[in-house]
Amino acid sequence: MDKTVESTIVDATPEECYRVASDFARYPEWAGDIKSVEVLESDSQGRGIRVAFRVAAFGRSAAYTLVYDYPTDGGLEMKWHQESADLTSKLDGHYVFTPNGDGTTQVSYTLEVDLLVPMPGFVKRRAEAKIVHAALKDLKVRTESLSDRGHVEHR
């Protein structure tokens, strides 16, 4: 199966990026296609581990529930797999937040999507790439707007 992988540089620390990415309840405030989010289950650190989303997708509303896994070594990474959905049979991915040494962070996003309805591979890959690109752009803008640096800088 094909995966889509994309990275961006965010003018914020890995911790700031991670905080924004793991604050699921606030996604509707800044993530373009997210209509609503409900954290169904949290771990002992208050991080969402089962999260239900309602999104605008393919010209209609779609719902899915993701199960999140966090590294036990305290690393700044988030992995998820789909538990249930009405349009997709797979929606698995992960974020990795890597410091660049200059106060910026490389955010890498990997996504693997399979739809319940068969679709040509190139159409699926294009949709996957659009999702990843928009998610990284939205995450970058939101994180930089909240960064300790107190400004938004578009690179």
Q: What's the CA angle centered on 71, arms 136 and 64, to 5 degrees?
A: 55
Arithmetic mean of pLDDT, 105-129 = 84
39 and 32 Cβ atoms separated by less than 8 Å: no
Domain range annotation of the chain:
4-146
- Domain 4-146: CATH architecture, name and number where available: 2-Layer Sandwich (3.30)
The string of pLDDT tens digits covering residues 58-78 is 678 899 999 999 988 878 999
Arithmetic mean of pLDDT, 78-85 = 97
DSSP the chain: ---EEEEEEESS-HHHHHHHHT-GGGHHHH-TTEEEEEEEEE-TTS-EEEEEEEEEETTEEEEEEEEEE--TT--SEEEEEEEEESSEEEEEEEEEEEE-SSS-EEEEEEEEEEESS---HHHHHHHHHHHHHHHHHHHHHHHHHHSTT-S----
Q: What pLDDT, on a 0 to 100 scale, did the predictor assign at position 155?
A: 34
Arithmetic mean of pLDDT, 44-49 = 93
Indicate the pTM of the whole model: 0.87
Q: Say whether pLDDT at 154 is over 90.
A: no
**Banded model confidence at residue 149, pLDDT cuts 50, 70, 90:** low
The string of pLDDT tens digits covering residues 29-43 is 999 889 999 999 999
The alpha carbons of the chain give a radius of gyration, in whole angstroms, of 15
**Banded model confidence at residue 93, pLDDT cuts 50, 70, 90:** very high
